[in-house]
A and B are shown apart, each in its own frame.
Chain A
Amino acid sequence: MDSLPPHMRPERSFQGFILALQRFWAEQGCVILQPYDMEMGAGTFHPATTLRALGPKPWKAAYVQPSRRPKDGRYGENPNRLQHYYQFQVIMKPSPANLQDLYLQSLKAIGIDTALHDVRFVEDDWESPTLGAWGLGWECWCDGMEVSQFTYFQQVAGVECAPVAGELTYGLERLAMYVQGVDNVYDLNFNGRDGADKVTYGDVFKQAEQEYSRHNFEHADTAMLFDQFRMAEGACKSYLAAGWSSDKRDKHLMALPAYDQCIKASHVFNLLDARGVISVTERQSYIMRVRDLAKACGEAWMRTEAGSAA
Chain B
Amino acid sequence: MPDLLLELFSEEIPARMQAKAAEDLRRMVTDKLVDAGLVYEGAKAFATPRRLALTVHGIPARQPDLKQERKGPRVGGAEAAIAGFLKATGLNSLDEAKIQRDPKGDFYIALTEKPGKPAVDVLAEILPMIIRTFPWPKQMRWGEASIKSSALTWVRPLHSIVATFGIETEEPEVIQFDLPGVSVGQTTRGHRFLAPDAFEVRRFDDYVAKLQHAKVVLDPERRKEIILADARTLVQAQNFELVEDPALLDEVAGLVEWPVVLLGSFDAEFLSIPDEVIRATIRANQKCFVVRDPATGKLTNKFVITANIEASDGGTAIIVGNERVIRARLSDAKFFYETDLKTKLEDRLPKFENIVFHEKLGTQAERIARIESLAAVIATSVGADPAKTARAAKLAKADLLTEVVGEFPELQGLMGKYYALAQGEDASVAEASEDHWKPQGPGDVVPRDPVSIAVALADKLDTLVGFWAIDEKPTGSKDPFALRRAALGVIRMIVANSIRIKLANVLGDGLTGYTSQGNEIVRKGIESWAKPSTTVRGAVESAYDAWTAGGVRNFISDRLKVQLRDQGARHDLVDAVFALGGQDDLLMVVRRVEALGKFLDSDDGKNLLAGTKRASNILAIEEKKDKRTFDGAPDASLFALDEEKALAQSIASVGPEASAAVAKEDFAGAMAAMAKLRPAVDAFFDKVKVNDDDAAVRENRLKLLNEIRAATRAVADFSKIQ
Contact = CB atoms under 8 A, between A and B. Distances in A.
A118 B11 contact: no
Nearest to B145: A163
A160 interface: yes
Interface in A117-132: 117-123, 125
A135 interface: yes
Given A152-B140, A160-B149, A178-B321, A121 B11 contact: yes
Interface in B590-616: none
Interface string B608-628: 000000000000000000000
Contacts of B383: none
Contacts of B355: 280
A170 interface: no
A161 interface: yes
Nearest to A121: B12
Given A94-B143, A94-B146, A116 B311 contact: yes
A142 B273 CA distance: 26
B507 interface: no
B147 A152 contact: no
B322 interface: yes
A121 to B, nearest CB: 4
Given A94-B147, A117-B311, A122-B255, A164 B140 contact: yes
B502 interface: no
A245 interface: no
A230 B255 CA distance: 47
B573 interface: no
B142 A164 contact: yes
Interface in B343-386: 354-356
A79 B328 contact: yes
A136 B143 contact: no
B157 interface: yes
A232 B636 CA distance: 98
Contacts of A116: 311-313, 317-318
Contacts of B307: 118
A117 B147 contact: no
B106 to A, nearest CB: 62
A114 interface: yes
A164 B146 contact: yes
A143 interface: yes
Contact of A163 (B143, B305, B309, B317): B143
Name A's interface SS.
loop
Nearest to B181: A97
Contact of A164 (B11, B12, B143): B143
B325 interface: yes
Contacts of B157: 95, 97, 152
Given A115-B193, A163-B143, A120 B308 contact: yes
Contacts of A183: 324, 327-328
Contact of A145 (B139, B155, B181, B321): B321
B146 A162 contact: yes
Nearest to A281: B356
Among A118, A122, A280, max chain B CB count under 10 A is at: A118
B144 A163 contact: yes
Contacts of A138: 12
Contacts, number: 118
Contacts of B15: 122-123
Among B155, B193, B321, B355, max chain A CB count under 10 A is at: B321
A95 B14 contact: no
Interface residues of A, number: 40
A80 B143 contact: no
A100 interface: yes
Contacts of B235: none
Nearest to B156: A136
A114 B140 contact: no
B16 A123 contact: yes
Given A115-B311, A118-B309, A118-B318, A144 B286 contact: yes
Given A122-B255, A138-B12, A162-B149, A143 B143 contact: no
B148 A162 contact: yes
A119 B193 contact: yes
B147 A145 contact: no
Contacts of A164: 140-143, 146
Contact of B143 (A95, A114, A120): A95
A186 B143 CA distance: 40
Interface in B316-351: 317-318, 320-322, 324-328
Among A79, A80, A138, A163, max chain B CB count under 10 A is at: A163
A247 to B, nearest CB: 29
Interface residues of B, number: 49
B654 interface: no
Nearest to B136: A136
A115 B313 CA distance: 9
Interface string A84-95: 000000000011
B114 interface: no
B159 interface: yes
A154 interface: yes
Given A80-B328, A123-B15, A178-B321, A136 B138 contact: yes
Contact of A162 (B147, B324, B325): B147
A294 to B, nearest CB: 21
B288 interface: yes
Interface string B387-429: 0000000000000000000000000000000000000000000
Contacts of A125: 138
Contacts of B181: 97
Interface string B243-269: 000000000000110000000000000
Interface in B93-145: 138-145
B253 to A, nearest CB: 13
Contacts of A166: 142
A56 interface: yes
B104 to A, nearest CB: 60
Given A116-B311, A138-B12, A162-B149, A154 B140 contact: yes
B452 to A, nearest CB: 31
B208 to A, nearest CB: 24
The 4 closest A-B pairs by CB, nearest first: A143-B321, A123-B14, A121-B12, A144-B322
Interface of B: 11-12, 14-16, 49, 138-149, 155-157, 159, 181, 193, 255-256, 286-288, 305, 307-309, 311-313, 317-318, 320-322, 324-328, 354-356
Given A143-B320, A143-B321, 18 more contacts: A115-B311, A117-B321, A118-B308, A120-B12, A121-B11, A122-B15, A143-B318, A144-B305, A145-B325, A152-B142, A154-B140, A154-B141, A162-B146, A162-B147, A162-B149, A178-B321, A183-B328, A280-B355
10 contacts: A94-B143, A94-B146, A97-B157, A120-B308, A122-B255, A138-B12, A143-B317, A162-B146, A163-B145, A163-B146
